[in-house]
Structure 1
Amino acid sequence: MENWVSPLSTGVLLGIAAGAIAALLVAIIRFKVHPLLALIIVSAGTAFATQIPAGEVLDVLVDGFGSTLGEVALLVGLGAMFGRLAETSGAARALSDALVTRFTDRRAPLALGVVSLLFGFPIFFDAAFMVMLPIIFTIARRVGGGVLIHALPAAAALSTVHVFLPPHPGAVAATVLLGADVGLVILIGVVVAVPTWYLGAYLYSVWIGRRIVLPVPDLLTGGPMIDDDTAAPPPRPGTVVALLLLPLVLIFANTTVATLGKTGAIDHAAAWAEIMMFIGSTPIALLITVLVASRVLGTGRGQPAAVVEDLLDNALKPIASVVFITGAGGMFGAVLIASGIGDALAGTLGATGLPVIVSVFVVSAILRIALGTATVTITTAAGLLGASVVAAGLGPVQTVAVVLALAAGSSIFPHVNDASFWMIGRLLGMDVPTTFRTWSVIKTLISLVGFALSCVVFALGALT
């Protein structure tokens, strides 16, 4: 597949992509085909329609499915385990009580969003959302009003940070490929990301959350409960905060060591540096957190090890559908990339002749809609336009603005070819149309507001 090039024209490839997406929507929404089955069937059909060699089709499907599971399954699984411990031990309720007392019931969605902005800085979106989920569900049950009004602001905050700020992979890729200063990207990125979240995501999340009232899913409450006769009083909020900060600290240490190694400040090949980066990798950081939580929230509070083991085992059962459908979404995206659709679209968009900040946003946005993966979108768009950005002779602030505009484009309108679309929809108990009305719109607003603020930064950079 490395040297294979599709014999089809750009127009035909784009038509096949549009038809595949339409077929998915009709199958799932109109004929109620299970999303996992629909994604597999349409992915295979798209591969054959784009004339991927028949002997390679299965490899493309399996590789796309497996690579997505490799990124998502461990994070979702370990996050669900932590969430189950936090839910059944009373830890989630203890922290939610403290937050609601401090911010009041009416401001609970804002409190969750602000906490998520801070928590999402060093942690990837999938992992951070799974760790926050028990807190979100507990506050939603206590305050009422449905799950969406509480979950969407938090999810949007995590996503906004993930899109715009290093050390997240898309922002790092754009920074490197466009030649921006990483420190300046972080500094200006924070100034852009916070109002982008509030104006583009929080206000709409609260508005739509009041109109679509869904019950809190029981993902974290099925199976055995901790024995109230033997359980100690709920842990203190400070203990819960410490557990939430543990993966954050480990992952931040990983990022710091990796960054210092790249700059030459330390020897990144040293044994201690490699061990630190291993411990601070996201799956290992979450694993350590689950182990510590099992002791602090489980056996350390008088629960038998067998009870804790049952809790963790039952935490995995409700998320099986989420993991498989998310993997199938990655499969569909992999077919679109392997078929040459992304390259065909990128080549067409490369000669738009638009102003540099507009062209990077448009190219990034269209690639995102076509391919469904933010990191591939950013890498492709930055690689396509990097030379023209460098040739434009932009100042440091303007270059940062272009990076942020490209990142904003990569956030626009997630749909059926995006793994996060399925993960968010399934975890929050939404069907496909509701996920479009909520998550797809929220991400599009984040994209548009972020681009508008990037243009303001670009204009101000021209004055310096």
Structure 2
Amino acid sequence: MTLAAWTQTLGAGPLLGIAAGAVALLLTLIIVLRVHAFLALILVSLLTALAARIPLGAIVNQVLVANFGNALGSVALLIGLGAILGRLIESSGGAKAAADLMVRIFGEKRAAFALGVTSLLLGFPIFFDAGLIIMLPIIFAVARRIGGQNLLLYGFSGIAAFSVMHVFLPPHPGPVAATEFFGANLGIVLLLGLVIAFPTWYISGYLWGRFVNKRFPMIVPAFFGTLDEDQPKHPAKAGTVIAVLLLPLVLIFLNTGLAALASVGIVDGDATWVQALTLIGTSPVALLVTVLVALVVLGTVRGEKGSALEKLVEGTFGPVASVILITGAGGMFGGVLRASGIGNALAGVLSDLGLPVILATYLIAVMLRVAQGSATVALVTTAGLMAPAVIGGGFSTLQTAAITLAAAAGSVCASHVNDSGFWLVGRLVGMDVKTTLKTWTVQQTIESLVAFALVLVVYLVF
């Protein structure tokens, strides 16, 4: 039997029990028994599929392999290209130069705040994972420049900023999809998202980063190399590095900007020049172009020979292989939970509770996120489920926008082991599973609660 022809017969109770047991088993294998996360994720994914009674003939190819591939479809390219770019910036001395410039301008005490604000601005046109990869070299360099075990202060200030922008601001796909389902005004959703973005980041990113940095002092991992003590004779200038980092952002902004213009009929989306610029502005292609430019301006122009650059590129793949594989396996685990029907069963139960629409929307998104991991799936499923109630509820334009962002707030809550982003952040920053749960999972929960509180005030007052 194929997966498309199969219907889940288990009820919500047994399915939720299977999900809880799977998460508990996974944490036991990784934290207690010290099984490598990649192996543990594959094993638990297989056992979960069997327990959920997914057809045996569909488990491997249609569930495990398919979801592993889907998780890696764009992430592997972004991580690989981003690692090369980061290594070029680090090895050229450019990361240290850019960090020195930032510290001179803002001072050591305000450097983490400045990194966060910069990431908020850059996160407007660029997706979370791509923005994270692009900014990490600078985040790591600033943390090294100031010294000490301050990784989480600078890391969370920047990473949380990209998360906030990706979750709440159009043109990112989640809020755009929810806007369409609820019939909300995209401009109002954008304006309200901008209003809540800064306080949400400040509390859940900057202040939380300061707190966890004291609880979990960490040094910068050697993801892009450790060359601060052995800088090249002719280091790249800070301006050159900044220009290189801005290049993918400009290209990606072309993509999102043209897509927005095409959606309202200002430009012809089928025109060849529009499609060409849109192609160049996709995240993988934009990063590829940036890496090729960086090889020239940070390598060849500084006198690096082709063989040396080839070895440098080759040397970046070892550290990122584990990140890529574990991220894919995390996507596999989340995909198994989605295929089992756990999310749909849970959503059906919650939708019948008779709660206020904005609260029900938020809680359904939270439960779907916790149950199956994907923020996008949680948001889109919630929007589809609650759309009739929202559209027929006679809400004002601002209230509808608040409900839309309440769904977005719920979809980001409590990132944990069934979320590929959990593994991506944890491995890139060099945290083990227990530390990632205590820091990143809590950060995402705070981000969710703060944003919901803000949109609830708007909903009740206006």
- State the TM-score bracket (shorter-chain normalisation): over 0.9
In the aligned structure 1, how far is the partner of 2:182 from the partner of 2:99?
Answer: 42
Residue 256 of structure 2 corresponds to which residue in structure 1? 255
The answer for the alignment partner of 2:240 in structure 1 is: 239
1:290-369 equivalences under 5 Å are: 290-369=291-370
| Pairwise CA distance, 1:262 | 2.0
**C-alpha distance in structure 2 between counterparts of 1:425 and 1:227, whole Å:** 28
Residue 226 of structure 1: how far off its partner (Å): 9.6
Give runs of aligned pairs for residues 427-446 of structure 1, distance below 5 A.
427-446=428-447
State the alpha-carbon separation in 2 of the partners of residues 93 and 460 from structure 1.
Answer: 48
Distance in 2, matches of 1:341 and 1:210, equals: 38
Aligned to 2:53: 51
In the aligned structure 2, how far is the partner of 1:226 from the partner of 1:429? 23
Normalised TM-score (structure 1): 0.96
**Which whole-Å deviations, capped at 9, do the CAs of 1:3-41 have from their partners, x for residues lacking one?**
321121111111111110111011111101111101000
Q: Describe the superposition over 1:94-152 as per-residue Cα deviations: whole angstroms up to 9, x where unpaired.
A: 11111111111122211111111111111111111111111111111111232112111
Counterpart of 1:85, as a letter, is L
Distance in 2 (alpha carbons) for counterparts of 1:161 and 1:25: 30
Shift of residue 363, structure 1, vs aligned partner: 0.5
The 1-side partners of 2:173 and 2:417 are apart by 22
Runs of 4 or more off by more than 2 Å in structure 1?
Answer: 225-228, 231-234
For 1:63, the equivalent position in structure 2 comes to 66
**1:124 matched to 2:127:** yes
Residue deviations 1:197-230 (CA, integer Å, cap 9, x gap): 102221111111122111210111179x9993xx
* 1:166 maps to amino acid: P
Match status 1:198 vs 2:202: yes
Offset of 1:324 from its aligned partner?
A: 0.3
Paired with 1:352 and 1:144, the residues of 2 have a C-alpha distance of: 52
The answer to whether the aligner puts 1:19 opposite 2:21 as a matched pair is yes
The yes-or-no answer on 1:115 pairing with 2:118 is yes
SS in 2 for 1:392: coil
State the identity as a percent: 52
Counterpart code for 2:447: I
- The 1-side partners of 2:35 and 2:46 are apart by 16
Name the CA distance, whole Å, in 2 between partners of 1:256 and 1:441.
33
Structure 1 residues 233 and 40: alpha-carbon distance in aligned structure 2, compared to 1, 3 A threshold: closer
Structure 1 letter corresponding to 2:126: I
Q: Secondary structure at the match of 2:414?
A: coil
| Equivalent residue, structure 1, for 2:37 | 35
1:102 matched to 2:105? The reply is yes
> Tell me, what secondary structure is at the counterpart of 1:94?
helix
In 1, the alpha carbon distance for the partners of 2:144 and 2:17 equals 45
**1:61, 1:331 within 8 Å by CA — same for their partners in 2?**
yes
Given that 2:93 and 2:231 are in contact with CA atoms closer than 8 Å, whether structure 1 keeps it comes out as no
- CA deviations over 1:46-67 (Å, ceiling 9, x no partner): 0011110000000210001000
Deviation at 1:386, TM superposition (A): 0.8
- The count of corresponding residues between Structure 1 and Structure 2 is 457
Does structure 2 conserve the Cα–Cα contact (< 8 Å) formed by 1:349 and 1:363?
Answer: yes
Does the CA contact (< 8 Å) of 2:158 and 2:205 recur in 1?
no
- Check the 8 A contact 1:201/1:443 in 2, yes or no: no
The one-letter code matched in structure 1 to 2:240 is: T
Separation (CA, whole Å) in 1 of partners of 2:433 and 2:407: 27
Return the match for 1:137 from 133, 136, 140: 140
The residue identity in structure 1 corresponding to 2:100 is D
Cα contact 1:222–1:315 (8 A) shared by 2:
no
Q: Where do residues 219-234 of structure 1 align in structure 2 (5 Å cutoff)?
A: 219-221=223-225, 228=232, 232-234=234-236
The yes-or-no answer on 1:157 pairing with 2:158 is no
Distance 2:45 2:235 in 1: 51
Is the 1:330–1:417 contact (alpha carbons within 8 Å) kept by the matching residues of 2? yes
Distance 2:189 2:245 in 1: 26
Contact 1:109 1:206 (C-alpha < 8 Å) held by counterparts: no
Aligned to 1:379: 380
Distance in 2 of aligned mates of 1:36 and 1:156? 25
Mean Cα displacement is larger for which, 76-85 or 213-222?
Answer: 213-222
Alpha-carbon contact 1:226-1:303 (below 8 Å) kept = no
Q: Counterpart of 1:268? A: 269
1-structure distance, mates of 2:417, 2:42: 12
- How far apart in 1 are the matches of 2:288 and 2:461? 44
Q: Is the 8 A contact 1:226 1:307 kept in 2?
A: no
RMSD: 1.5
**2:176 alignment partner, one of 172, 178, 181:** 172
Distance 1:108 1:308 in 2: 32
SS in 1 for 2:218: coil
Tell me, in whole angstroms, the C-alpha distance in 1 between the residues paired with 2:284 and 2:310. 19
1:264 is displaced (CA, Å) by: 2.0
Aligned-pair CA distance for 1:265 = 2.0
SS in 1 for 2:126: coil
Cα distance in 1 between the residues matched to 2:311 and 2:231: 12
Mapped to 2, the partners of 1:403 and 1:311 lie a distance apart of 46
Report the Cα distance in structure 2 between the residues aligned to 1:210 and 1:89, rounded to whole angstroms.
32
1:452 aligns with 2:453: yes
Correspondence for 1:419:
420
